[in-house]
Each structure stands twice: as structure tokens, then as C-alpha cells.
Amino acid sequence: MVQLKEFRIVMPMSLEEYQVAQMYMVMKMQQQSTNGDEGVEVLENKRFQDDVFGKGQYTSKVYRLQSKAPAWLTTIAPKDALVMQEEAWNAYPRCKTVIKCPYFTKFSLTIETVHRADNGTSENVHGLNEEQLAARQVEIIDIASAETDYWSYAIGSISFDFPKFKSTKSGRGPLLDGWQDNCRPVMTAYKLVTIDAPYWGFGYRLEQALLAGERALFIESHRNCFGWIDEWFGLTMQQIRELEQQGDCLLNEKISKLVLLTDAADCGQRFTHSSERQVQRVVHT
């Protein structure tokens, strides 16, 4: 049975700020979770243009997440069953991500994201038909909540106390009860997750587990987006793109793979002493 769920993540920042924050967060979280055995391998990172999204950035990645597999899954599949292949088309403020698993060839997971300058009150931003709207579940995520479950521990740790947190550079925070209605600036990431695992006996359980995993990842990543605000606040898109390219090289060095990035011929030519220090600061902050 196909699962259709829309997550709405409200953020205390503008649309322009979120674009930088999201790229910074992805880069830093990938660096933190990657080592010689597990993590993220970047195969391609290049510009694209098509009739659907217009212009944007295309990425192709491999995620090796063996240690995060729930125990019940390892009883029916090997540990490398959680090697995932991801393709993403980022044409901000619209994005699409498709995730496949070579072990479960019938499995598919698609995340379509629309970003709006509102507090999560827009309906049907994805243009769903009546049948899809009837099947869709909606959940509004509060990044200030300290709620935890299995997946929140598997994916990350709660490291910010947002009801007490205040940004030094922007002056934003703390996030108190009802902050979504009173915060300025504010924006929302509307993430529509469509997941299908048509396997008799365990397909529904796999779908629910991966939905819970995506939910925990959305919470963790967006908490980091705001919690790291003093690290990315004031950076330009050009600066964050340069950091991203350098970070991709570091990722592939960590996981001992050849670099196959399209926008630069040689990773070594990209690094200056100052940019090396900047990327290392991101990794170790």
C-alpha cells in the first residue's frame, strides 16, 4: 500500500536564509556521519536545466547506513540492505528527491518539497488531486519540541534547548510555546513523502519504519538548521556553494572513493589554505 504523508516544518528564518541554512546543514551533517565504513558518497553534483523544474542543482549520492537498520530488518535482509541511492533535483524553492534501495528493487521513496514564506497554513501546495488529498496525512513539526523515539536516537541526538536558545548574530530565539504564530521572519518546508514497498508480509512495516525514519531526520536536520544559525548567518550563496564543493571532496576522501564530481576537474585545485580551514571548521564545530 502506497503511503502519502506531508510534513510541514516551520522555521524562524526567511526563504533566502533557509536556502543557505539547509545547504550548510546538509554539508555538516554528512561530514559528521561519514567514516571509512559508513556515510555519504557524492557521485555527482552539477547544474541542471529541464522543462519541469527549470534551473537548479542535481546531486547523486550513495548512503551507507548499515548500523541504523532496525533489528527486525536484519533478520530478513543483510546489513547492506540499507545502502540507499539518492537522486535530487534542487530548484529552490522547489525540490525533488528520489531514493532507491538496490536490495529491495520494488521499493521507492520520493520526497517533493515546496518552500513558502508562511507558518504552515497553506493547503495543497503540491497540487494533489482529490484521491491523493483523501489519502494524504498531514503533520506539523515543531522543531522546539524535545520529543524523542527510537529513530531520533538512531539518527542524532537532541542537543539544543530552543525554549532557552538565543542566537548571538541574529538575536532570534528563544522559541516559546506558540512561536510559529508570532515569529518574524518565518517560512515553512512542505515535504510530501510518497513511499511504496510492495512486499508481502513486511512491506507495510518497512514503509512505516522508513516514514518514521524520515520524520526523525526532518526534525534533526531542521533543529540543526536553526541551532547552527551563528555558523551560517551572513554567508552568501556563492560562499556556501564553494564550501559544498570542498565538502564533497572531503566526504569522498573519508569514505575512500574516487571523486566523480562534474563541476570541477580536480578537488586539489579547489582548495586554498583559507578555504581548507573554513571547511575543517564546519566539520569540527
**Taking the domains of the chain in order of start, what are their residue ranges?**
3-279
Pick the CATH number of 3-279 from 3.30.300.30, 3.40.30.10, 3.30.530.20, 1.10.10.10: 3.30.530.20
Cα 100–Cα 61–Cα 44 angle in degrees, nearest 5: 130
252 neighbors 42 (Cβ within 8 angstroms) = yes
Bond prior to 185 in cis (omega within 30° of 0): yes
Encode 8-36: b = buried (16+ Cβ within 10 Å), e = exposed.
Answer: bbbbbbebebbbbbbbbbbbbbbbebbee
> Residue 147: its pLDDT value, please?
73
3-state secondary structure of 247: helix
101's CB contacts (< 8 A; 6+ apart) are 81, 82, 83, 84, 85, 107
Q: What cell does 107 get?
A: 521499493
Q: What cell does 273 get?
A: 589554505
Distance, CA of 22 to CA of 11 (rounded, Å): 11
> Residue 74: its pLDDT value, please?
62
> Residue 260: its pLDDT value, please?
43
> Residue 264: its pLDDT value, please?
39
Encode 72-103: b = buried (16+ Cβ within 10 Å), e = exposed.
Answer: ebeeebeeebbbbebebbbbbbbbbbebbbee
- Give, for all 285 residues of the chain, the pLDDT tens digit: 789 999 999 999 999 999 999 999 999 988 887 876 778 888 999 999 999 899 999 999 998 866 666 666 666 667 667 788 999 999 999 999 999 988 888 899 999 999 999 999 999 999 999 999 999 999 999 999 877 665 565 566 667 999 999 999 999 999 999 999 999 999 999 999 999 988 888 888 888 888 988 998 899 999 999 999 999 999 999 999 999 888 888 877 776 554 444 443 444 444 344 444 454 555 455
Distance, CA of 241 to CA of 20 (rounded, Å): 9
83 neighbors 102 (Cβ within 8 angstroms) = yes
Which one, of 2, 94, 47, 96, lies nearest residue 244 by Cα?
Answer: 47
Distance, CA of 155 to CA of 149 (rounded, Å): 10
> Residue 152: its pLDDT value, please?
60
At position 172, the amino acid (one-letter code) is R
Q: Which residue shows C-alpha cell 537548479?
A: 56
Q: pTM for this structure?
A: 0.86
3-state secondary structure of 48: strand
